[in-house]
């Protein structure tokens, strides 16, 4: 079992068509394109239509990953969805997705790790694949962040957008010869290591107060107090912690595999805020040219930012065979983590 190699065999992403630009926000908030861009790096974000749910976005991203991998829904054995905005709390978002894909053999469930959710999802899937319990696993991160915002809070709502990203993982025995051939299910990138961490003590720094058992049933009062929208508490403190954890996680992924962070072709971070990413790069001693960015056109899509950026980098040819890629994330919980992938 320890000899199993875990590979990414397909990636996919999906962004809603509707674009909400900073100029659109100027019309309803006391803000400007310049103010938003300088503080966040965001110029526009995508917004899902009212009748589109998290599992709908996830389905489109998943189908694209499956097409790239040459794997059909009947081949899926495990679906792990990372999200903090599921269609419903029960059934899970992954259950809805399983039905929409027609993946009748698959076991499906959600995980909640906020903006670090995709890395946590990779870690969960890796354990099942390494034991041999499953061979093909879909990890998808999907969010409709626009529906948990207080759109009068100009400090916070300007950051967020909607979208989904997915990766198909497969386990390979050392003896298999399909690692880099052109047959369906070939390995594109090998996951060398995954590292995850959490700190529940400081979890309230990034918080959605409503929707759980402590504000149930939902009341007029809880809605009036906007308890069901995302809050950023102690924002300055959160930024300092985020920079530290982003960098530590990237360093952990590199050092665990005997390389330097600078040896990686790309650092693909959670797209939190351009200032955080600039400080992360400075702390790591690398150029921003090594940091793969999508924040300007998509904003912060919580758990989905990393797989969306990864898919874009794969499809654009920015990632080539032999490249090392570091994924690094930080989110509410508090959660942080990283992964090193060799293409």
Question: What does 207-269 look like in DSSP terms, one character per residue?
Answer: E--SSSGGG-S--HHHHHTTTTS-EE-SHHHHHHHHHHHHHHHHHHHHHTTT--GGGSSEEEE
Tokens encoding 145: 């962040």
Tokens encoding 60: 């489109």
d(CA 53, CA 259): 41
Position 332 scores a pLDDT of 87
Position 19 scores a pLDDT of 98
Is 115 designated active site? yes
Q: What is the CA radius of gyration of the chain?
A: 19
Domain 193-342 class in CATH: alpha beta
Domain with CATH 3.40.47.10 in the chain: 5-191, 193-342
What backbone phi and psi angles, to 5 degrees, belong to 74?
Answer: -70, -20
Q: Print pLDDT tens along the chain (343 aa).
A: 457 899 999 999 999 999 999 999 999 999 999 999 999 999 999 999 999 999 999 999 999 999 999 999 999 999 999 999 999 989 999 999 999 999 999 999 999 999 999 999 999 999 999 999 999 999 999 999 999 888 888 888 999 999 999 999 999 986 664 544 445 568 899 999 999 999 988 777 776 777 777 766 777 787 777 777 777 766 666 788 899 999 999 999 999 999 999 999 999 999 999 999 999 999 999 999 999 999 999 999 999 999 999 999 999 999 999 999 999 999 988 999 999 999 9
From 163, 200, 196, select the one nearest 302 (Cα to Cα): 163
d(CA 16, CA 56): 10
Is 300 designated active site? yes
Is 270 designated active site? yes
In sequence order, the 6+-apart residues with CB closer than 8 A to the CB of 92 are: 81, 86, 108, 109, 110
Tokens encoding 85: 């905005």
d(CA 193, CA 115): 19
One of 95, 137, 300, 324 is an active-site residue; which one? Answer: 300
Position 236 scores a pLDDT of 65
One of 115, 116, 137, 157 is an active-site residue; which one? Answer: 115
Position 1 scores a pLDDT of 44
One of 116, 157, 205, 270 is an active-site residue; which one? Answer: 270
Superfamily of domain 5-191: Thiolase/Chalcone synthase (3.40.47.10)
Count of alpha carbons within 13 Å of 239, Cβ hemisphere only? 12
* Confidence (pTM): 0.94
């Amino acid at each position: 079992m320890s000899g199993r190699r875990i590979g990414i065999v397909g990636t996919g992403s999906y962004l809603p068509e509707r674009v909400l630009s900073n100029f659109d926000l100027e019309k309803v908030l006391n803000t400007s394109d310049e103010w938003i861009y300088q503080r966040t790096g965001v110029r526009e974000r995508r917004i899902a239509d009212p009748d589109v749910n998290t599992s709908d976005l996830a389905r489109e991203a998943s189908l694209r990953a499956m097409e790239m991998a040459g794997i059909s829904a009947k081949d899926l054995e495990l679906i792990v969805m990372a999200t903090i905005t599921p269609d419903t709390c029960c059934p899970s978002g992954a259950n809805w997705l399983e039905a929409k894909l027609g993946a009748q053999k698959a076991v499906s469930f959600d995980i909640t790790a906020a903006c670090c959710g995709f890395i946590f999802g990779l870690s969960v899937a890796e354990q099942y694949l390494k034991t041999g319990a499953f061979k093909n696993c879909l990890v998808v991160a999907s969010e409709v962040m626009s529906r948990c915002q207080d759109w009068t809070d100009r400090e916070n709502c300007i950051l967020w957008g909607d979208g989904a990203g997915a990766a198909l993982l497969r386990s390979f025995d050392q003896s298999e010869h399909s690692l880099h051939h052109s047959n369906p299910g070939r390995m594109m990138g090998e996951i060398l290591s995954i590292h995850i961490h959490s700190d529940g003590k400081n979890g309230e720094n990034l918080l959605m107060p409503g929707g759980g058992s402590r504000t149930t049933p939902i009341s007029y009062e809880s809605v009036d107090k906007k308890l069901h929208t995302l809050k950023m508490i102690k924002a300055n403190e959160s930024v300092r912690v985020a920079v530290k954890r982003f960098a530590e996680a990237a360093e952990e992924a590199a050092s665990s595999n005997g390389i330097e962070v600078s040896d990686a072709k790309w650092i693909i971070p959670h797209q939190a805020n351009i200032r955080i990413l600039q400080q992360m790069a400075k702390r790591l001693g690398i150029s921003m040219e090594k940091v793969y960015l999508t924040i300007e056109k998509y904003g912060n899509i919580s758990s989905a930012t990393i797989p969306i950026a990864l898919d874009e980098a794969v499809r654009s040819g920015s990632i080539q065979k032999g490249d090392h890629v570091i994924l690094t994330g930080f989110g509410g919980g508090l959660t942080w983590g990283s992964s090193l992938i060799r293409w």
